[in-house]
Amino acid sequence: MEYEGSYALSSGQDSLSALGSLFRRHHVDAICSGHEHLFEHWVERYEDRNGHKYRLDEIVTGGGGAPLYTFSGEPDTRGYLKAYAAEKVQLEHLVRPASELGGNPYHYLVVSVDGERLRLEVVGIDRGRSFRPYRSNKVELD
């Protein structure tokens, strides 16, 4: 768990470089972070020097009580992708926050681990009870 997400809207390039490199070196499967008051899910795919392919999921879950944000556009990740081109880093913004406030409800995560399987359930509260950031409110990370 980290406070500010690696690709978060307010993250600087230094945060992206230092944390992303550390996570890839240790083949971290998933991280959850807060700081940004919204929900989003990034997937980073990369290769090590032996050609093994990996996936790192980063879930930003900042819907715990402070005033919520709206999505104002993608962060500029060009420098990050260029810096790690040798690792063939690719980013996918799997779940984007909504651009209207009502689309980013207060929420929390339920994380289930069963051996190698990792499942997330996003639980919206109050007006966000029907929040479905994926096609449902549940996802299994591959």
pLDDT single digits (tens) 8-52: 544 544 555 678 788 999 999 999 988 788 899 999 999 999 999
Domain contains 118: no
Task: Express each pLDDT in 90-124 by its tens digit.
Answer: 999 999 998 887 888 999 999 999 998 999 999 99
CA 81-43-71 angle, to 5 degrees, is 85
Domain contains 125: no
Domain contains 134: no
Domain contains 120: no
Mean pLDDT of the residues in the chain: 85
Q: Which of the 8 DSSP states describes residue 36?
A: S
CA 68-62-121 angle, to 5 degrees, is 120
Please give the structure tokens belonging to residue 80: 């990050």
Domain contains 130: no
Q: What is the pLDDT of residue 8?
A: 52
Is the confidence at residue 134, as pLDDT, over 50?
yes
- Give 100 or 142, the one with higher predicted confidence: 100
Domain contains 67: yes
Percent of the chain with pLDDT over 70: 88
Is the confidence at residue 2, as pLDDT, over 80?
no
Is the confidence at residue 86, as pLDDT, over 50?
yes
Confidence band for 7, pLDDT divided at 50, 70 and 90 = low
Pairing of strands 117-124, 30-34: unpaired
Task: Name the pTM for this structure.
Answer: 0.85
Is the confidence at residue 77, as pLDDT, over 50?
yes
Task: Express each pLDDT in 42-53 by its tens digit.
Answer: 999 999 999 999
What's the total number of domains in the chain? 1
Per the document, the length of the chain is 142
Domain region containing 20: 2-102
Domain contains 138: no
